[in-house]
Amino acid sequence: MSNFADPAILFFIFGVLAGFARSNLEIPHAISRFLSLYLLMALGLKGGFALHHSGITSEVSLALGLAIFLAVFIPIVAYFILGKWLNKLDAAAIAATYGSISAVTFITASQSLDQQGIHYGGYMAAAMALMESPAIVLAIVLANKARAQQSTGTSTHTSLSKVLHESFTDGGQLLLLGAMAIGILSGDAGHKAMTPFSIDLFKGLLSFFLLDMGLQVARNLSQLKRVPRLTIVYGLVAPPVHAMLALGICKLVGMQLGETILLMVLAASASYIAVPAVLRQAVPEVSPALYMGMSLGITFPLNILIGIPAYTWLAHYFM
């Protein structure tokens, strides 16, 4: 229950309630975008400062390797499972959404670990960055394959090189990696100088951003009326299954507790920003209501309210 006493989580719940009440409370898009970029910048700096101290150790390499494996394995399995009941393009879009990650879920989880005094390596921010793009690339490859199999002559082939460029030059991801590099280069002096910005303000701005996310969740729930029931079930079941997969692998290789929890959270999360932005252009045949309704209407609140404390408890129990 301590998760529900966290001001950031309470602001999220407040935002959901305000949205359901049809309040005119609204965070301007420009401010919401600023908050998103601030959180990524602060997280990147934190990871960079941690890497400056630790260097690229075997532990760091193992965590990053596991992150890449999960980012490739999850969307492939999701595609072949969903493809048995849905058309291939819908399956590819959902697989990309659930194979990628939610940065805000990760940030909320890292704050929860800080509050509980559970140590984790700041380099996990790099793991998060590495997990964002593989699912997008796989989805485009699978979508192009599906179009070729349909042979309708009406679908356009999406250039993989264009998608790769968009994925790796996305503003948020680029800022995260750039801030991490700056953290590594500036070291202790940079950490001292940036503490008022990247640490002292972090909790308050995260709470403000989660308020906005709560409002968006309430408004996106209506989209679930237009998606098949099977996908709603998938949106509820897939996150804990993916988290347990990550837990099993981490236990097998002897990963530390904090890193295990964050890998579980990353595996369980679904993208609602980066992947939908690419899919709208690359797979226009699929309605955004499908993957946006699932990720933002089901999986995001599930992870924020229940998932993070549940994954933390499970990791404690099994590790």
pLDDT in tens, 88-112: 889 999 999 999 889 889 989 998 9
Cα separation values, 231 from 98, 156, 178, 209, 235, Å: 12, 26, 36, 27, 6
Distance of CA 185 to the CA centre of its chain: 26
Q: Map out the domains of the chain with their CATH numbers.
A: 31-318 (1.20.1530)
Cα separation values, 11 from 4, 130, 195, 211, 220, Å: 10, 29, 24, 5, 18
Global pTM value? 0.82
Confidence of residue 217 (pLDDT cuts 50, 70, 90): confident
pLDDT of residue 158: 57
pLDDT tens string 262-293: 999 999 999 887 777 677 777 888 887 788 88
pLDDT of residue 94: 93
Q: Which of 36, 41, 38 is nearest to 183 (CA)?
A: 41
Range among 72-76, 134-138, 214-218 rated most confident? 72-76
Tell me which of 135-149, 195-209, 238-252 is least confident.
Answer: 135-149
Half-sphere exposure in the Cβ direction for 233 (13 Å, CA): 6
Tally DSSP H helices, then E strands, for the chain. Answer: 16, 0
pLDDT tens string 287-302: 877 888 889 889 999 9
